[in-house]
């Protein structure tokens, strides 16, 4: 099996986040010699965090210029680490930061890159990756002959590496900081008053457009809908997903749930989250929406309509019921 480099950038607090530890676990499982390349404002704490991972070398590009996500500096750091390591297979977490910088690095190195990989394994000493195509409708396992081969592993696909911290010896890699045109001035979160997207939650709660539609009494109950949804999320520590119809309503001037933004949309044109369980409410279960629930292991839905899309084999259990009533009971029980 060929040598493997794991590329990881540090977080604001100097640590390695879970996606980086997942990439490390995936690389370690290949049974090949692993080198780790770190980039960040300070890298010793991150190196110490994974001191017992069994890496044959720990390389680091360190400096203030490499603290914030920015193509030019991230690409320069990654390129230097790849050249110093000289490994033919490079694995990195599919964070927004690496997803932006590493395809360019593959080009500079004359190699190839694959993004949105969900698994990597060595079959007969040959690394093979798994990824989905056409919005999670087709799964392929593929290999490449070109090297270096950069593989971006989607977060949440493998168990993160865990082990004791220690004192790591780090080899510094020098990089000439490239001229930058981009200044990072800070972070801006999507407009919703509290964090509702929790990738690590056991349950994904999905809200559909029905929450803002006229109910049996002929009235709309958006305020109560919001109260029930947020109350449930807080108590169950669930993540919030939504149908496209519901998140689009703000642009159409209709009643909206302020706890939602387009970031919450799941489906063909939204995200395909991975949670152990999913509960869809007031949502019809149309195919483009359900595509986003593909990786949810156990799917349940609440809909007034016994003939809705969920009833046609898309949910494991469909409760034909008023979601307002069910959620009122559920929140009271919690
Ligand atoms: C190219 C393309 C891409 C698309 N991509 C996506 C995507 O990524 N994600 C996505 O979500 N959609 C997507 N759509 C839209 C999708 O086809 C559906 O239109 C949308 O998902 C429907 O949303 P909904 O079920 O929330 O709303 P509706 O279809 O309006 O359904 C509302 C449901 O709420 C139920 N209801 C109402 N009141 C209650 C109550 N009190 N209790 C229980 N149930 C109640 C009703 O019975 C109804 O079934 C896409 C469409 C196209 C054409």
Residue 148 Cα to ligand 1 midpoint, Å, equals: 44
**Ligand 1 atom nearest to CA at 270:** 8
Q: Whose CA is nearest to atom 11 of ligand 1?
A: 243
Helix (H, G, I), strand (E, B) or coil at 185: coil
Residue 308 Cα to ligand 1 midpoint, Å, equals: 10
Residue 169 Cα to ligand 1 midpoint, Å, equals: 54
Residue 161 Cα to ligand 1 midpoint, Å, equals: 38
At CA 81, angle to CA 80 and CA 87, rounded to 5?
120
Give Cα 275 to chain centroid, integer Å.
Answer: 11
Q: How confident is the model at residue 89 (pLDDT cuts 50, 70, 90)?
A: very high
On the question of pLDDT at 149 being above 70, the answer is: yes
Say what the pLDDT of residue 193 is. 56
What's the predicted TM-score (pTM) here? 0.77
Q: Which of 334, 288, 292, 293 minimizes the C-alpha distance to 315?
A: 293
Q: Characterise 202 by phi-psi region: left (phi > 0), alpha (psi -120 to 50), beta (else).
A: alpha
Mutate to test the pocket of ligand 1, among 204, 205, 210 (most ligand atoms within 8 A of CB): 210
For the chain, the structural domain boundaries read 4-172, 203-333
Residue 283 Cα to ligand 1 midpoint, Å, equals: 5
- The rounded percent of the chain whose pLDDT value lies above 70 is 98
Domain covering 203-333 in this structure, CATH number: 3.40.50.1220
- Backbone φ, ψ for residue 161 (5° rounding): -65, 140
Helix (H, G, I), strand (E, B) or coil at 241: strand
- Backbone φ, ψ for residue 131 (5° rounding): -155, 165
Looking at residues 116-143, what average pLDDT do you find?
91
pLDDT digits (tens, 9 = 90+) for 44-80: 999 999 999 999 999 999 999 999 999 999 999 999 9
At CA 323, angle to CA 317 and CA 329, rounded to 5?
95
Q: Whose CA is nearest to atom 43 of ligand 1?
A: 303
Q: Whose CA is nearest to atom 18 of ligand 1?
A: 286
Residue 193 Cα to ligand 1 midpoint, Å, equals: 24
The owner of tokens 């520590």 is: 237
Interhelix angle 323-333/222-236, nearest 10 degrees: 40
What residues line ligand 1, using a CB cutoff of 6 Å? 208-210, 213, 215, 243-246, 265, 267-270, 282-284, 286, 288-289, 292, 302-305, 308, 322-324
User: Using DSSP, how many helices (H) and how many strands (E) does the chain show?
Assistant: 8, 14
CATH number (3.30.70.270, 3.40.50.620, 3.40.30.10, 3.40.50.150) of 4-172 reads 3.40.50.620
Q: Which residues, in sequence order, are CB contacts of 63 under 8 Å at separation 6+?
A: 41, 175, 177
pLDDT digits (tens, 9 = 90+) for 233-267: 999 999 999 999 999 987 777 778 888 889 999 99
Preceding omega of 76 cis (within 30 degrees of 0): no
Rounded to whole angstroms, the Cα distance separating 108 from 97 reads 17
């Amino acid at each position: 099996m060929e040598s493997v480099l794991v590329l990881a950038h540090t977080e604001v607090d100097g640590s390695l986040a879970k996606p980086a530890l997942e990439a490390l676990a995936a690389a370690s499982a290949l049974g090949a010699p692993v080198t780790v390349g770190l980039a960040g404002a300070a890298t010793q704490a991150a190196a110490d965090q994974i001191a017992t991972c069994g890496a044959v070398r720990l390389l680091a590009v360190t400096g203030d210029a490499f603290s914030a996500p920015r193509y030019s500096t991230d690409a320069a750091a990654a390129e230097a680490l790849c050249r110093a390591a000289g490994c033919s297979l490079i694995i990195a977490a599919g964070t927004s930061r690496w997803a932006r910088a590493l395809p360019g690095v593959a080009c500079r190195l004359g190699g190839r890159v694959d993004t949105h990989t969900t698994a990597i394994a060595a079959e007969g000493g040959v690394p093979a990756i798994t990824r989905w195509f056409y919005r999670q409708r087709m799964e392929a396992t593929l290999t490449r002959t070109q090297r270096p081969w950069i593989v971006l592993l989607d977060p949440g696909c493998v168990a993160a590496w865990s082990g004791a911290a220690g004192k790591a010896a780090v080899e510094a890699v020098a990089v000439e900081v490239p001229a930058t045109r981009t200044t990072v001035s800070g972070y801006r979160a999507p407009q919703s008053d509290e964090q509702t997207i929790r990738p690590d939650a056991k349950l994904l709660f999905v809200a559909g457009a029905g929450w803002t539609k006229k109910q049996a009494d002929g009235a709309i109950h958006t305020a109560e809908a919001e109260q029930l949804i947020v109350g449930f999320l807080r108590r169950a520590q669930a993540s919030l997903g939504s149908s496209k119809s519901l998140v689009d309503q703000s642009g159409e001037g209709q009643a909206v749930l302020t706890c939602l933004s387009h970031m919450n949309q799941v489906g063909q044109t939204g995200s395909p989250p991975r949670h152990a369980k999913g509960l869809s409410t007031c949502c019809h279960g149309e195919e483009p929406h359900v595509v986003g629930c593909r990786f949810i292991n156990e799917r349940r839905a609440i809909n007034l309509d016994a003939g809705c899309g969920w009833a046609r084999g898309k949910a494991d259990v469909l409760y034909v019921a008023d979601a307002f009533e069910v959620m009122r009971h559920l929140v009271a029980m919690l």
